[in-house]
């Protein structure tokens, strides 16, 4: 038996090893073009931040190099350097910078987008949903009060109160929960409101990324607002999943047509300029009802808003087709409203009769009622407008009816226990 390993085998193994190493290195290291881009940003226009940060945080510089802003000559300091009187600023390497650029910085170059955003429910109202007006300066409150899509009490004052679940869970929990999503509209110490980078993920600020449903799905998901899941089930979502890679994701804003997108994403229906509709960051201007509310009512500009959305649909569907979708969805809303009122009356009666406390979330029935409208009611309503039959049915109306039955039986048991509504 030859104890020596044949030379051809040694050579063969070495060649294979070198090839594997080469492939590994090739995929791990940035390609020539990408390295060039990093250098281009690091050294062009004397951007001192990028030059140093190419060593400190190469990833940030690399990502930023890919952005259209870098190509247009916008520098790190355009967003990060702030005036000395800015309470969010601090000294850094001879500059006065902020590590969290706010819409105040973006506003310098994107006035329209910033002002539309500030007047949408993505701004002030998203934060008010947690703690009412806490944390707002008078100027921030005034701006927020002027939002057309604000929901108001019958006497006209904006709906603003501490949220019971927020208070029940407390700061330590909500910091890692509610606040992560709702900070899209946080009041900032420099007087501005919100965080553009919740959608325009840093540092590429990519147009194709923000037009994709996954970006919205960071927040618009789960049992209380399953818009992303509904979209995935809809014919539109299936078109996106199966053919989206062929769509023209980088078309110039305002010029999008069905040639670029044969089916819509969240952005197309709610924000993009598409066909005759202009681009908007005021996401409420295409919505006709307050669907998130316990009982859904029409928005102040319902008729015009609905026309705006229909204008988008009608790039691809006939008016009568769209009309039918809306009529069906409106009936789902009416049905949910009726059932939520029925459950709400039962709970109010129990409180009036002293059978349960008026303190929020102090009895099982409080949780049951919350699930009824906040999970099942909302889900059915969203599913009906956005093409999700399974969400209207099996995640919506059916569990809602079952929940109503549960509440009725629990109420009957409580009444019996306490002798027909007698005070405790």
Residues in region 273-302 near ligand HEC by CB under 6 A = 273, 279, 281, 283-284, 287-292
What does the block give as tokens for 308?
A: 């705006």
Whether the CB-CB separation of 372 and 388 falls below 8 Å is answered with: no
Whether the CB-CB separation of 131 and 162 falls below 8 Å is answered with: yes
* C-beta of 309 vs 397, nearer to ligand HEC: 309
By CB under 6 A, tell whether 403 contacts ligand HEC. Answer: no
What does the block give as tokens for 410?
A: 């629990």
Distance from C-alpha of 157 to C-alpha of 160, rounded to nearest angstrom: 8
By CB under 6 A, tell whether 167 contacts ligand HEC. Answer: no
Part of the chain binding ligand HEC (CB under 6 A), chosen from 6-14, 195-203, 335-343, 396-404: 195-203
Count the site residues for ligand HEC by CB under 6 A: 118
By CB under 6 A, tell whether 96 contacts ligand HEC. Answer: no
By CB under 6 A, tell whether 52 contacts ligand HEC. Answer: yes
Distance from C-alpha of 41 to C-alpha of 64, rounded to nearest angstrom: 8
Task: Select from 57, 301, 308, 344 the one that contacts ligand HEC (CB under 6 A).
Answer: 57
Contact map string, positions 330 to 369, toward ligand HEC, x by CB under 6 A? ----------------------------------------
Distance from C-alpha of 294 to C-alpha of 337, rounded to nearest angstrom: 8
Whether the CB-CB separation of 241 and 231 falls below 8 Å is answered with: no
By CB under 6 A, tell whether 271 contacts ligand HEC. Answer: yes
Least separation in angstroms between residue 399's CB and ligand HEC is 18
* C-beta of 227 vs 355, nearer to ligand HEC: 227
Phi, psi (degrees; rounded to nearest 5) at 127? -80, -40
Residues in region 364-393 near ligand HEC by CB under 6 A = 385-387
* C-beta of 255 vs 413, nearer to ligand HEC: 255
Distance from C-alpha of 370 to C-alpha of 381, rounded to nearest angstrom: 16
Least separation in angstroms between residue 51's CB and ligand HEC is 7
* C-beta of 137 vs 163, nearer to ligand HEC: 163
Part of the chain binding ligand HEC (CB under 6 A), chosen from 119-127, 350-358, 364-372, 394-402: 119-127
Whether the CB-CB separation of 378 and 225 falls below 8 Å is answered with: yes
Task: Select from 38, 49, 356, 372 the one that contacts ligand HEC (CB under 6 A).
Answer: 49
By CB under 6 A, tell whether 93 contacts ligand HEC. Answer: yes
Least separation in angstroms between residue 7's CB and ligand HEC is 52
* Of 88, 87, 12, 75, residue with least CA distance to 42: 75
Part of the chain binding ligand HEC (CB under 6 A), chosen from 12-20, 29-37, 101-109, 356-364: 101-109
* C-beta of 121 vs 339, nearer to ligand HEC: 121
Residues in region 205-244 near ligand HEC by CB under 6 A = 205, 207, 210-211, 213, 215-220, 222, 225, 227-228, 231, 235-236, 239
By CB under 6 A, tell whether 269 contacts ligand HEC. Answer: yes
Task: Select from 141, 189, 317, 418 the one that contacts ligand HEC (CB under 6 A).
Answer: 317
Distance from C-alpha of 113 to C-alpha of 271, rounded to nearest angstrom: 11
By CB under 6 A, tell whether 264 contacts ligand HEC. Answer: yes
How many C-beta atoms lie closer than 10 Å to residue 372's C-beta? 26
What does the block give as tokens for 44?
A: 């062009």
Whether the CB-CB separation of 249 and 288 falls below 8 Å is answered with: no
Part of the chain binding ligand HEC (CB under 6 A), chosen from 14-22, 106-114, 360-368, 404-412: 106-114
Task: Select from 13, 177, 401, 412 the one that contacts ligand HEC (CB under 6 A).
Answer: 177
* Of 171, 106, 105, residue with least CA distance to 134: 171
Least separation in angstroms between residue 322's CB and ligand HEC is 5
* C-beta of 121 vs 414, nearer to ligand HEC: 121
By CB under 6 A, tell whether 249 contacts ligand HEC. Answer: no
What does the block give as tokens for 395?
A: 């995640």
Whether the CB-CB separation of 336 and 377 falls below 8 Å is answered with: yes
* C-beta of 269 vs 397, nearer to ligand HEC: 269
Task: Select from 38, 76, 336, 343 the one that contacts ligand HEC (CB under 6 A).
Answer: 76
Whether the CB-CB separation of 163 and 156 falls below 8 Å is answered with: no
Distance from C-alpha of 332 to C-alpha of 231, rounded to nearest angstrom: 18
How many C-beta atoms lie closer than 10 Å to residue 88's C-beta? 17
Q: Distance between terminal CA atoms of the chain? A: 97
* Of 206, 215, 277, residue with least CA distance to 240: 215
92-to-77, 100, 252 alpha-carbon distances in Å = 12, 14, 37
């Amino acid at each position: 038996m030859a104890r020596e390993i044949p030379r051809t085998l040694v050579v063969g193994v070495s060649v294979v090893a070198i090839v594997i190493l080469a492939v590994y290195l090739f995929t791990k290291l940035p390609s020539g073009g990408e390295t060039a881009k990093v250098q281009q940003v690091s050294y062009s226009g004397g951007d001192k931040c990028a030059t140093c940060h190419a060593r400190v945080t190469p990833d940030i510089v690399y990502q930023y190099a890919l952005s259209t802003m870098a190509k247009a000559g916008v520098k790190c300091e355009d967003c990060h350097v702030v005036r000395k009187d800015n309470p969010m600023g601090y000294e850094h390497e001879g500059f006065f910078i902020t590590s969290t650029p706010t819409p105040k910085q973006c506003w310098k170059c994107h006035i329209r987008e910033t002002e539309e955003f500030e007047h949408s429910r993505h701004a002030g109202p998203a934060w008010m949903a947690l703690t009412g007006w806490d944390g707002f300066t008078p100027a921030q409150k005034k701006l927020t009060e002027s939002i057309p899509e604000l929901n108001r009490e019958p006497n006209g004052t904006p709906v603003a109160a501490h949220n019971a679940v927020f208070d029940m869970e407390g700061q330590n929990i909500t910091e890692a929960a509610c606040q992560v999503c709702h900070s899209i509209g946080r009041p900032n110490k420099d007087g501005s409101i919100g965080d553009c980078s919740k959608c325009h993920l840093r540092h590429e600020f990519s147009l194709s990324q923000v037009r994709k449903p996954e970006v919205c799905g960071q927040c618009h998901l789960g049992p209380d607002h399953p818009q992303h899941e509904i979209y995935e089930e809809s014919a539109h979502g299936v078109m996106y999943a199966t053919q989206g890679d062929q769509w023209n994701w980088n078309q110039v804003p305002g010029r999008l047509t069905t040639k670029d997108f044969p089916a819509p994403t969240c952005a197309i229906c709610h924000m993009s300029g598409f066909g005759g509709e202009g681009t908007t960051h005021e996401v409420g201007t295409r919505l006709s009802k307050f669907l998130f509310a316990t009982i859904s009512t029409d928005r102040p500009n319902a008729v015009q808003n609905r026309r705006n959305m229909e204008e988008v649909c009608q790039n691809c569907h006939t008016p009568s087709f769209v009309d039918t979708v809306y009529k069906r969805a409106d009936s789902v809303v009416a049905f949910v409203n009726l059932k939520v009122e029925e459950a709400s009356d039962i709970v109010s009666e129990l409180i009036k009769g002293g059978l349960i406390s008026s303190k929020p979330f102090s009895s099982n029935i409080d949780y049951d009622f919350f699930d009824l409208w906040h999970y099942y009611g909302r889900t059915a309503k969203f599913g009906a407008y956005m093409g999700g039959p399974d969400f209207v049915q099996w995640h919506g109306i059916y569990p809602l009816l079952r929940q109503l039955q549960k509440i009725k039986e629990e109420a009957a048991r409580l009444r019996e226990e306490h002798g027909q509504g007698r005070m405790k």
